[in-house]
Amino acid sequence: MRTLIKNGTIATAADLYKADVLIEDEKISLIGTDLAKLGSFDQTIDASGKYVIPGGIDPHTHLDMPFGGTKSADDFETGTRAAAFGGTTCIIDFAIQPQKGSLRQGLDDWHQKAEGKSCIDYAFHMIARDINKESLAEMDRLVKQEGVPSFKLFTAYPGVFLVDDASIFRAMQKTGENGGLICMHAENGPVIDVLIEQALGRGQTAPKYHALTRPARLEAEATHRVIALAEVAQVPVYIVHLSAKEALEQVREARDRGTKAMAETCPQYLFLSYENYEEPGFEGAKYVMSPPLRAKGNEDALWAGLRQDDLALVSTDHCPFCMKEQKELGKDSFAKIPNGAPGIEQRMSILWDGAVRSGRIDINRYVQITSTAAAKIFGLYPKKGTIAPGSDADIVVLDPKREIRWSAKTHHMRVDYNPYEGRTTRGSPTQVFSRGKLIVENDKWLGKTGAGRFIKRGPLTLSS
Ligand code: URP
Ligand code: ZN
Ligand code: ZN
């Protein structure tokens, strides 16, 4: 199968130039001018006036995840199809060690959820909630044999995911030996639980108290702490879903003293704020996620962090729960609202509109924070994350003029609300290729359920 994408402007994290791209089977085989001369093609896409960019990589999703007494609403089929519509061609989802179970069991569970269902390529991180002799030994096997070299640990959610500092430290030392990477959910869970108990005791049950019981200071404290642990263990650390200016300051200070501290933020922290919790009735539940949305002003610091590379990339933390029957579990207590929000579909468009079109960052940086940085940090590069001969033909043709009006009525995610309902973004994919196959053309689904492959990653070199 030979596909020619002609007359487009290729944008990578480094370059911006007009050229044609030849795809042969699953790979990019040639980049050059006037490639139409090369003969006949099975498919030709005219990308005049459009950008040809690497498919988005979203390194933080939760598909089919049991949480808060229910399960995230998108499974691997619906979630990855929605991702593809939005221009994301690879995700890294979080497998979970079952309570009292092994990492191996968690990994098997997640393979079962994804195999035969995923519409795009996927990889896994492993959430470890019990660090002991056995799971530490299993970490070696995951890194060296199973293609899962990244692990998420929590300083939040006592009794569910929280692990203590000694466990975090041991796991960090282990990754120092085996080439893995520890990713941290950094919030001080035990203190947050005291604040939750006190708020509920005062009868403060509305969704906004979710945010008011998770102050930014407690994200900054945990961020500071896990960076200190990584410094003593002499390993890199990656902070997930960073939301607050104060937490970012901890990352920046660490980086300034030469520590390999990396962090991601998410669109919700750039485009929404605490004010959303003040929406009438129970509407604030839509935004119950952890860390919570922050006071206006924090987003300016996050944008600066993205420009200056103290924030390496933008993931989604896609973890959708429907308002009906799921978020509603917390009608009488914000503490029972399942934590998480949908975002897998709109990330590429909302960032193009709110970052590139608005002039906050340039196109190269856009490609870096939506694709290349994730590929480099998490061991997918150069197979994915760039437009180059030999790389997988995971390609998005992006029309800077294409508008989308976001709505739960038209989005492809299996969730009954959209946090950006009614917002119009300009600049969106018109064609999406997954390993050389055209899987989305405008509003049309051309892909196949189950065509996505598990991507085994090796020990990480952290060349980003
Ligand atoms: O509220 C969130 N972020 N839900 C997903 C789980 C997590 O902590 O990432
Ligand atoms: Zn988390
Ligand atoms: Zn998450």
Closest Cα to atom 2 of ligand 1: 340
CA 24 to ligand 3 centroid distance, Å: 36
Backbone angles phi, psi at 385, to 5 degrees: 95, 5
Residue 62 Cβ contacting ligand 1 at under 6 Å? yes
Pocket test for ligand 1, best of 62, 129, 154, 157 (most atoms within 8 A of CB): 62
Q: Following DSSP, what letter does each residue of 366-397 receive, concatenated?
A: HHIIIIIHHHHHTT-TTTSSS--TTSB--EEE
Q: What is the pLDDT of residue 452?
A: 98
- Verify whether ligand 1 is closer than 6 Å to residue 170 (CB atom): no
Residues whose CB is less than 8 angstroms from the CB of residue 224 and which lie 6 or more positions away in sequence, other chains included: 250
**Distances, alpha carbon 362 to alpha carbons 178, 218, 370, in Å:** 36, 33, 12
In the numeric block, the tokens 């030392």 are attached to: 173
With H, G, I as helix, E, B as strand and everything else as coil, classify residue 7: strand
**Which ligand is closest to the CA of 61, given by its number?**
3
- Ligand 1 atom index nearest CA of 290: 1
Tell me the angle at which helices 103-114 and 133-141 cross, rounded to the nearest 10 degrees.
40
Task: For ligand 1, say whether the CB of 185 is within 6 Å of any of its atoms.
Answer: yes
Say how many Å lie between the CA of residue 319 and the centre of ligand 3. Answer: 7
What CA–CA distance (Å, rounded) separates 99 from 242?
26
pLDDT given at position 463: 45
pLDDT at site 464: 42
Question: pLDDT, tens digit, for every residue of 52-80?
Answer: 999 999 999 999 999 989 999 999 999 99
Whole-number Å distance, alpha carbon 29 to ligand 2 midpoint, is: 38
CA nearest neighbour of 64 among 318, 376, 356, 311: 318
Count CA within 13 A, CB hemisphere, residue 334: 33
Set out the domains of the chain in order of their start, with CATH numbers: 55-377 (3.20.20.140)
Q: pTM above the 0.95 mark? A: yes
Q: What share of the chain is helix, strand, coil (3-state, %, to 5)?
A: 35, 25, 40
pLDDT of residue 461: 84
Contact assessment for residue 126 and residue 107, using Cβ atoms and an 8 Å cutoff: yes
Q: Which helix (H) or strand (E) is 349 found in, with range?
A: helix 347-351
Atom 9 of ligand 1: nearest residue by CA position:
317
Exposed, middle or buried, 145 (CB in 10 Å: 0-12/13-18/19+)?
exposed
Query: Ligand 1 in contact with 319 (CB < 6 A)?
Result: yes
pLDDT digits (tens, 9 = 90+) for 287-305: 999 999 999 999 999 999 9
Residue 78: per-residue pLDDT? 98
Instruction: Kindly give the residue spans of alpha helices, DSSP state H, lying in 103-215.
Output: 103-114, 133-141, 165-178, 189-201, 208-212
Distance CA 335, CA 221 (A): 22
Distance 340 CA to ligand 1 centre (A): 5
Distance 292 CA to ligand 1 centre (A): 10
How remote is the CA of residue 446 from the centroid of ligand 3, in Å? 29
pLDDT of residue 424: 98
Residue stretches of the chain with pLDDT short of 50? 463-464
Q: Residue whose CA is closest, atom 5 of ligand 1?
A: 340
Question: What do you get for the CA distance between the two ends of the chain, in Å?
Answer: 33
